[in-house]
Amino acid sequence: MIPYAPERILVQEESWQDSVTLEILERLPGVEVRTVKSREVRFPEPSQGSPAPWEDKNTLFLLRHPGSFLKRCQGSGADTCCNYYVLSCTWNCHLDCSYCVLQSYLGGRALVVGTNFQDLMREVREKLGSSPHRIFRIGTGELADSLALDPATGFSRRLVPFFARLSNGFLELKTKSDCVANLEGLDHGGHTVVSWSVNSKRICRTEEEKAPTLEERLAAALQCQKWGYRLGFHFDPLIYYDGWEDDYREAVGEIFRSINPERVAWLSLGALRFPPHLIGHVKKRFPESKIPYGEFVPGHHGKMRYFRPIREAMYRKMISWIREAAPGLTVYLCMESFAVWEGSFRIQYPGPSFTPDRLDAAIIKG
- CA-to-CA distance for 232 and 266, rounded, in angstroms? 5
Output the CA–CA distances (angstroms, integers) from residue 341 to 34, 36, 232, 252, 268, in the order listed: 51, 49, 20, 20, 12
Q: Which is nearer to ligand SF4, 11 or 147 (CB)?
A: 147
Verify binding: residue 96, ligand SF4, rule CB under 6 A: yes
Taken as a whole, the chain contains a residue count of 366
Q: Decide whether 20 or 148 has the Cβ nearer to ligand SF4.
A: 148
Query: How far is the CA of 146 from the CAs of 46, 92, 167, 342, in angstroms?
Result: 22, 10, 22, 32
Question: Which residue stretch of 7-15, 66-74, 92-100, 181-189 sits at the interface with ligand SF4 (rule: CB under 6 A)?
Answer: 92-100
* Gap between the terminal Cα atoms of the chain: 30
* Alpha-carbon gap, residue 72 to 39, rounded angstroms: 28
Residue 88 to residues 114, 121, 129, 159, 352, Cα–Cα distance (Å):
8, 12, 19, 12, 32
- Shortest separation between residue 268's beta carbon and ligand SF4, angstroms: 14
Binding mask 125-144 for ligand SF4 (x = CB under 6 A): -------------------x
Number of residues this chain uses to bind ligand SF4 (CB under 6 A): 10
Task: From 97-105, 162-170, 188-196, 259-267, give the range in contact with ligand SF4 by CB under 6 A.
Answer: 97-105
CA-wise closest residue to 236 among 139, 346, 163, 136: 139
Work out the burial of residue 254: count CB atoms within 10 Å of its CB; fewer than 13 is exposed, 13-18 middle, 19 or more buried.
middle
Question: Considering beta carbons, is residue 93 or 220 the nearer one to ligand SF4?
Answer: 93
Among 89, 102, 112, 259, binds ligand SF4 (CB under 6 A): 102
For residue 145, state whether it binds ligand SF4 (rule: CB under 6 A): yes
Q: Count the neighbouring beta carbons within 10 Å of the beta carbon of residue 133.
A: 5
- Binding residue (CB under 6 A) for ligand SF4 from 9, 100, 173, 279: 100
Binding mask 197-236 for ligand SF4 (x = CB under 6 A): --------------x-------------------------
Label residue 105 exposed, middle or buried (CB < 10 Å: 0-12, 13-18, 19+). middle
Among the listed residues 9, 10, 93, 238, the single contact to ligand SF4 using CB under 6 A:
93
Site for ligand SF4 (CB under 6 A): which residue of 41, 60, 97, 203?
A: 97
Task: CB nearer to ligand SF4: give 93 or 304.
Answer: 93
Q: How far is the CB of 85 from ligand SF4 (least distance, A)?
A: 18
Which residue in 233, 159, 165, 167 sits closest to 194, CA to CA? 233
* Least distance to ligand SF4, CB of residue 177, Å: 7
Among residues 65 and 191, whose Cβ is nearest to ligand SF4? 65
Among 176, 188, 217, 281, binds ligand SF4 (CB under 6 A): 176
Minimal distance, residue 142 CB to ligand SF4, in Å? 9
CA pseudo-torsion sign 208, 212, 216, 219: negative
DSSP 40: G
Nearer to ligand SF4, 65 or 109 (CB): 109
CB 276 within 8 A of CB 308: no
Identified binder of ligand SF4 from the candidate list 10, 95, 278, 291, rule CB under 6 A: 95
Q: Based on the shown chain and the rule CB under 6 A, indicate whether residue 179 belongs to the binding site for ligand SF4.
A: no
Q: Helix, strand, coil % (nearest 5) of the chain?
A: 40, 20, 40
> Which residues lie near ligand SF4 (CB under 6 A)?
93, 95-97, 100, 102, 144-145, 176, 211
